[in-house]
Amino acid sequence: MTRQVIEVHELTAGHGGAEAVRGASFTVAQGTVYALLGRYGSGKTTLLETVAGYRRPMSGTVRVAGVDPYAPGETLRMGTVWREGGLFPGLTVAEVVDTWRRWTLDPLTREEALERVGLQGKAGARFERLGAGDRRRLDLALALVGRSDVLFLDEPTAGLPREDARRIRATLRELASGGVTVLLTTRDPDEACGADRIGVLNDGRLATGRAPIRLYAA
């Protein structure tokens, strides 16, 4: 039977009492990519932060691998990449990953982490010399260092050149084939169509469906 790694039921979430997401329900099966698609301000980031356990739900429930990600003491093998990404001036890719590994219990080896995101061969490169796509890959490698089997990604290809975006999507598909469950946000309908399932957020309301669906039909 398919295992639902992320289970969200009637979730309402927001900021200082103002609701940004209302009554969202969806599930994400193990080893699949789920895209939350929506315009600016539709509630994507608020929903992602709440499902990842960074924000307390106003009502409703979230379970990730069967546990409440907001509950104190729960440790989940999950990784997150927020839109700003990391800045590591003065360090090489290898040094950044090794620093992360030191803070992580039972981490992947540096080689494993870089290989999973296609950055093998860039270990000696200085962070400042990396292009935007490789910087995003490095963020992904750091999210994976703790052997994460769930990834939460806020607009992982936003602002990237088309080819970099395509390669990141291919990497996410490979990770999913290896059993990693991916929940991402996007403003790009093309990107959403590459996911296994799509939820469309419109002004805090989530409509769910199976890809491919016509998103902005005339």
Ligand X SMILES: Nc1ncnc2c1ncn2[C@@H]1O[C@H](COP(=O)(O)OP(=O)(O)OP(=O)(O)O)[C@@H](O)[C@H]1O
Stretch 90-149 residues interacting with ligand X (CB under 6 A):
none
Nearer to ligand X, 133 or 204 (CB): 204
Cα-atom radius of gyration of the chain, to the nearest Å?
17
Minimum CB distance to ligand X smaller for 6 or for 184: 184
Q: Which is nearer to ligand X, 20 or 182 (CB)?
A: 20
Check binding of 203 to ligand X (CB under 6 A): no
Between 51 and 97, whose beta carbon lies closer to ligand X? Answer: 51
CA separation for the pair 37, 152 (Å, rounded): 14
Question: Is residue 199 close enough to count as binding ligand X by CB under 6 A?
Answer: no
Neighbours of 112 (CB within 10 A): 15
Determine which residue in the list 22, 34, 38, 113 makes contact with ligand X, applying CB under 6 A.
38
Answer yes or no whether residue 15 interacts with ligand X by CB under 6 A. Answer: yes
The answer to whether 12 touches 161, Cβ cutoff 8 Å, is no
CA gap 171, 161 in Å, rounded: 16
Q: Which is nearer to ligand X, 42 or 148 (CB)?
A: 42
CB 11 within 8 A of CB 24: yes
Those residues with Cβ within 8 angstroms of residue 158's Cβ, 6 or more apart along the chain or in another chain: 83, 186, 187, 188
Contact between 56 and ligand X per CB under 6 A: no
For the bound state, the minimum distance from the C-beta of residue 185 to ligand X, rounded and expressed in Å, comes to: 6
Beta bridge partners of 208: 199
By CB under 6 A, name the binding residues for ligand X.
15, 20, 38, 40-46, 187
